[in-house]
A and B are shown apart, each in its own frame.
Chain A
Amino acid sequence: MVEDRRFGDFIAYVILSIGVLIVAFPVWLTFVASTWDAATIINGKLPLYPGPYFFENYNRILFIGTSSTTREPVLGMMLNSFVMAMAIALGKIFISVLSAYAVVYYRFPFRMAAFWIIFVTLMLPVEVRIFPTFKVVSDLRMLDTYQGLAVPLIASATGTLLFRQFFMTIPDELLEASRIDGAGPFRFFKDTVVPLSITTIAALFVIQFIYGWNQYLWPLLVTTKDSMQTIVIAIKKMIVTSDALTEWQLAMATAMLAMLPPVLVVILMQRLFVKGLVETEK
């Protein structure tokens, strides 16, 4: 029996290792490419170990920029992406928590109608309403601004739905106990609902941060100035399709840099995730 289990474990680990390799190899290749010079990559004989140009490549891409297409340094683009992702994530959490709180705890006229109106926007993602949205943003003179990048992406129903479902699991007795304890609607929200939702908020933050960071189509439309570019767009622009030479080592370095913040967010938030799964505090 012991033999059997060991064998089973061995097989499981082999399969898992293959999975890890499949996921990790392209990332490793990207990293390796970002540490060699252009010539090594171009001649098609890229080694599988890091080269000597790590500092040179990253220094150049972060602070100077490529020589041909996007001449801006990537650091500024990372800042743009970061501002946009944070604004989307935080903005979405803010309006979702509030709207879900209203829909769940208040009895106002057309409450369910309001909820359904929010709900049907799920069928209208940015891609579907892109032209009218662009028109609105441009009429409001929000092109090439952070507001223009973030606000249209904040408005969506996913967060509201998520919080609504969560709030409905909070026992009514907690609300009643709060009322007897002299907590009004705002206190109940601040002292009970938000602390209980922390793990849900963390989950939504991670999802929305990555969603915001990875935005491609919308930033492509609303930004024209190089100084407002996001890093995801920059990667695309660096890979030139015309006769100019693509500086692959710099594109790869940019890709590595573009990957860092989402990975960091996941790693930092993971603890809260696990906590949320292990402790059901209700």
Chain B
Amino acid sequence: MAQVTLINVKKIYPGGVEAVKGVSFDIPDGGFCVLVGPSGCGKSTLLRMVAGLETISAGEVSIGTRIVNEIGPADRDIAMVFQNYALYPHMSVYENMSYGLRNRGTPKDEIDARVKEAARILAIENLLERRPRQLSGGQRQRVAMGRAIVRKPQVFLFDEPLSNLDAKLRVQMRVEIKKLQRALGVTAIYVTHDQVEAMTLSDKLVVMNGGQVEQIGLPSEVYKKPASKFVATFIGSPPMNILPGTIDGPGIVALGDAILEARDLREDLAVQTPVEIGLRPEDVEIASEGQAGSLPFDVEFIEELGATQLFHGQLAGLPFVMQAATDVVAAQAGRIWITVDPDRVHVFDTVTGARLGHV
């Protein structure tokens, strides 16, 4: 168990392509860090550099007190779970789990004890003699986890481990991974493009885009105060509505003819500065007509999701989505009035996309 520190880590490929453009953060001992971002954002490359599968072009990666830049993957005291599990197809589950220990010359009885223990934790004791191809996706996933556990590593690395599972199993395994990591207290780095996994698993969320870190923080922080328009639209489902507006005064933005109060907004911005206003579909509430600060929303159609419903339509002439409880009855088409809590109005720079909030 150890803390992981990245200092200005870069990956530059021989062609000159910069896949990771200087990333720094640290994960405390026992922390669960999730790297999330769209495909090609460099999150997997970063993970693979921590694993030692990719060379580090610049910067420093340390695990515990050791700088591991020049240390091979086998000696970094890490274990990795791959997207396609990467189980050795010709070995039994037992052999798969014990292979790393056998290569290290661990005594036989200890290997046996560790494999049995891991199998018990993961409830795969009855599968030890099987071959990977005789297992279901979820079972393979468990074996891959088992292979990581038996090593008793300082860090677990997960490279999109759940993306090959069906939706139901994914939720179940997500909970199990979190429980297991808590129980073992091992530091974990988890790469995913799924923002639900990112939110639920992490206690440190790193949102990446284009090889750079967009925001680092607790998942709730990232959700409540997205540092940029990119983070705002990437985290949250359905995604945040982004509407063009202007500054209308300190803490006030104008959206078409309507005016919105935004509590987290810098005061030093000149009136009429164009900005982008972000409103989460789930933060929008229905108001009565003419209520102070309410906005007109023309509903065009309604999607029933079971627990909630989504109203799609136009706000100030722009596409807009809001989430409403199922007991809210609205005409399939027609105008309704909505309000948003001033604490939940996000304002972003039109050019850089950065949040224009208090520091």
B53 at the interface (CB under 8 A from A): yes
Residues of B within 8 A of A177 (CB): 80, 82, 86-88, 147
B19 at the interface (CB under 8 A from A): no
Bound-state CA distance A171–B82 (Å) is: 11
Contacts of A166-193 to chain B: CB distance below 8 A: 171, 173-174, 176-177, 179-183, 187, 191-192
Pairs A-B, 8 closest by C-beta atoms: A173-B86, A181-B100, A182-B74, A182-B103, A177-B86, A281-B89, A195-B90, A173-B82
Contact yes or no, B90 A179, CB < 8 A: no
Bound-state CA distance A160–B74 (Å) is: 30
B204, chain A: closest CB distance, angstroms: 23
A196 at the interface (CB under 8 A from B): yes
Q: A-facing mask of B84-103, CB < 8 A → 1, else 0? A: 10111110000000011001
Contact yes or no, B89 A196, CB < 8 A: yes
B28 at the interface (CB under 8 A from A): no
Known A195-B90, A196-B90, A279-B133; judge A181-B82 contact (CB<8 A): no
Query: Chain A residue with minimal CB distance to B48?
Result: A176
A129 at the interface (CB under 8 A from B): no
A282 at the interface (CB under 8 A from B): yes
Contact yes or no, B103 A173, CB < 8 A: no
Residues of B within 8 A of A171 (CB): 84, 86
Residues of A within 8 A of B83 (CB): 173
Contact yes or no, A179 B133, CB < 8 A: no
Residues of A within 8 A of B115 (CB): none
Residues of A within 8 A of B89 (CB): 196, 281-282
Contact yes or no, A176 B86, CB < 8 A: yes
Bound-state CA distance A176–B44 (Å) is: 14
Residues of B within 8 A of A281 (CB): 89-90, 131, 133
Bound-state CA distance A196–B90 (Å) is: 7
Residues of B within 8 A of A174 (CB): 86, 88
Contact yes or no, B133 A176, CB < 8 A: no
Contact yes or no, B103 A187, CB < 8 A: yes
Known A173-B84, A174-B86, A174-B88; judge A179-B99 contact (CB<8 A): no
Interface, chain B (partner A; CB < 8 A)? 51-53, 72-75, 78-80, 82-84, 86-90, 99-100, 103-104, 131, 133, 147
Most buried by B among A187, A196, A281: A281
Number of A-B contacts (CB under 8 A): 61
Bound-state CA distance A196–B75 (Å) is: 26
Known A176-B53, A192-B88; judge A182-B82 contact (CB<8 A): no
Most buried by A among B83, B84, B88: B88
B67, chain A: closest CB distance, angstroms: 19
Residues of A within 8 A of B74 (CB): 179-183
Known A191-B99, A279-B133; judge A180-B88 contact (CB<8 A): no
Interface, chain A (partner B; CB < 8 A)? 171, 173-174, 176-177, 179-183, 187, 191-192, 195-196, 279, 281-282
A275, chain B: closest CB distance, angstroms: 12
Known A171-B84, A279-B133, A281-B133; judge A180-B100 contact (CB<8 A): yes
A192, chain B: closest CB distance, angstroms: 6
Contact yes or no, B103 A181, CB < 8 A: yes
Most buried by B among A177, A192, A281: A177
Bound-state CA distance A196–B53 (Å) is: 22
Report 5 cross-chain contacts, Cβ distance below 8 Å, ordered by A residue: A173-B82, A177-B87, A179-B73, A182-B103, A281-B90
Bound-state CA distance A176–B83 (Å) is: 12
B300, chain A: closest CB distance, angstroms: 46
B39, chain A: closest CB distance, angstroms: 17
Residues of A within 8 A of B86 (CB): 171, 173-174, 176-177
A166, chain B: closest CB distance, angstroms: 13
Query: Chain B residue with minimal CB distance to A183?
Result: B103
Bound-state CA distance A69–B104 (Å) is: 64
Known A174-B88, A195-B90, A282-B89; judge A180-B78 contact (CB<8 A): yes
